[in-house]
Amino acid sequence: MLSKTMAIVIINTLHIKVPTILFIFAFIFFAKVTQIDKISKQILLKMTNIELKPARVFEQFAKINAIPRPSKHEDKMIEYLVEFGKNHNFDTIVDKTGNVLITKPATKGMEDAPTVILQSHIDMVCDKLVDVDFDFHKDPIQTYIDGEWLTAKGTTLGADDGIGVAYELALLASDDIEHGKIECLFTVDEETGLTGAFGLEPNWMTGKYLINLDSEDEGQIFVSCAGGITTDNIFRYKPEEAPKGYFFMEASVKGFIGGHSGDDINKKRANAIKVLGRFLYMEQNKLDLRIAEWNSGKMDNAIPRDGKVIFAVPMAEKETVKADWNIYTKGVEEEYHVSDPSSVWGLESTDTRPVIEKEVARKLVMAIQAVDNGPLTNCQDEALAYMVETSSNVAVIRTDKDRITVVASQRSNVASALTNMANTIKACFELADAEVHQHDQYPGWKMNPNSKLVKVAVEEYKKLFNKEPEVLGIHAGLECGLISEKYPNVDMMSIGPTLRFVHTPEERLLIPTAQMVWDHLLAVLKNIK
């Protein structure tokens, strides 16, 4: 039955105007009384003149986006999945890490087909525009259609990887699709540590093939990915009173595009931390600048889009700083006029407050100026020369009462190069006397040149769309790397619909590609024998 809550989610998804909303609620009430749920849904779609196909997938996605699921806070989503499995009488288990496995038997005539694992992660990156009032721990994602794209109102959309979860749930709920036995794996905390994949037990699943549903370009089949590591750099200090006669300013930037620190690291987008750090370094070399607070970035796998730094300068220097800021920001706007055309800059006075010890702040600024950020090298193999091999992203800077923490994430498709990049970042911050901790290291995923799964996927794609798919590696990290360590004999690939600007409030899903991936997925499941 189409509930009131579900109707609100669909209305938000379809961006329906108020008069239409009233009519829909009247119709939903009638549908509830007369028990014509299927007809009501069909008429609802016709009334809005919008076709979200495949409907069964988007219905599941709407339900998912009504459930809060920040990384490390997926309890409500786990409960939903367990209830879903039990309601459909499927074997449903939860491991000690929180991963959920729902097993559906083969359909009639497909009993001899090999078992296929479908895998997606249930958490999402939670980011929003600075002026949007939204609580990711309780508010449903408010989505709407913009041309051929599905996007959200001022927040991340959650299609990474909610759409993968929706594919799995739609397949589990179906009774008209041919497939062998399927094991639907839903992992937790992919975005902030790959906790679910790390905690996956080696003998939990029986499938011979695995299809990861966490890719972001339809028509591309991914067969390898980068490994990564996170470096935390802590500058400890004792707050102290600012010198007398100092003027406090808050410098800010917002409106950068940001993006995924793997997929988008090669797009030459501005990094808010590096941009603010450059200005501080120049001013620090000219005058006695004292830093009070510096905050920018939210996730270690996202390029920071906005940030603020509060600092103090001698009263006699404040006009010089303002003039320098105007010159500097115009130069940076020109520098990023293609990749980040909508930046917004601010410099204003603010209240007096304690400052960081001068020498600690000086070394912090020098480290931010010096540290590597962005792509370092591209892959040397000719077939993968298009792809970044090694990179680093200065992702977060956060001020607490007695410390400033800088978080940087390193990636590489080559294990030794990853170690070198991580050591380079570590050495830079050690020279600045920071306390350095490295963690959350995960392996890359090596390509299987003899993959039967990929062969079938390529053949079925050509039959469906009369063109060749691309078989590629990816610089982003996928859970396939960790899963392949624990299940070395499982043949794997990754596919997904086209997403753009993931990990940002501009995240969007190209609606027509959702149907294409669905058709492709069903063809692979039917023909993998």
Q: Are strands 143-146 and 220-225 parallel, antiparallel or unpaired?
A: unpaired
Tokens of 449: 């040149």
Whether residue 442 contacts residue 482, with contact meaning beta carbons closer than 8 Å, is answered with yes
Q: Which fold has domain 55-225+446-527?
A: Aminopeptidase (3.40.630)
Question: Is 470 among the catalytic positions?
Answer: no
Tens digits of per-residue pLDDT, 337-389? 999 999 999 999 999 999 999 999 999 999 999 999 999 999 887 767 788 99
Phi/psi of residue 33, each to 5°? -70, -40
The beta strands (E) that lie in 361-425 are given as 374-378, 388-399, 403-412
Instruction: Give the position of tokens 């219905």.
Output: 59
| Helices 18-34, 37-48: inter-axial angle, 10-degree rounding | 160
Q: Which of 127, 161, 189, 190 is catalytic?
A: 190
Q: Which of 123, 306, 491, 506 is catalytic?
A: 123
Whole-number pLDDT of residue 51: 82
pTM of the model: 0.75
Whether residue 255 contacts residue 339, with contact meaning beta carbons closer than 8 Å, is answered with no
Sign of the Cα torsion 516, 519, 522, 528 reads negative
Query: Where are the domains positioned within the chain?
Result: 55-225+446-527, 228-442
Q: Which amino acid is at 526?
A: K
Predicted confidence pLDDT, tens digits, the chain (529 residues): 344 444 444 444 444 433 334 333 333 333 333 333 443 343 333 334 458 999 999 999 999 999 999 999 999 999 999 999 999 999 999 999 999 999 999 999 999 999 999 999 999 999 999 889 999 999 999 999 999 999 999 999 999 999 999 999 999 999 999 999 999 999 999 998 899 999 999 899 999 999 999 999 999 999 989 999 999 999 999 999 999 999 999 999 999 999 989 989 999 999 999 999 999 999 999 999 999 999 999 888 899 999 999 999 999 999 999 999 999 999 999 999 999 999 999 999 999 999 999 999 999 999 999 999 999 999 887 767 788 999 999 999 999 999 999 999 999 988 999 999 999 999 999 999 999 999 989 998 888 889 999 999 999 999 999 999 999 988 988 899 999 999 999 999 999 999 999 999 999 999 999 999 999 999 999 999 8
What would the CATH number be for the domain defined by 228-442? 3.30.70.360
Question: Is 372 among the catalytic positions?
Answer: no
Sign of the Cα torsion 422, 428, 431, 437 reads negative
103 three-state secondary structure: strand
254 class by beta-carbon count within 10 Å (0-12 exposed, 13-18 middle, 19+ buried): middle
Instruction: Give the position of tokens 């559906």.
Output: 104
- The CA distance from 292 to 357, in Å, is 9
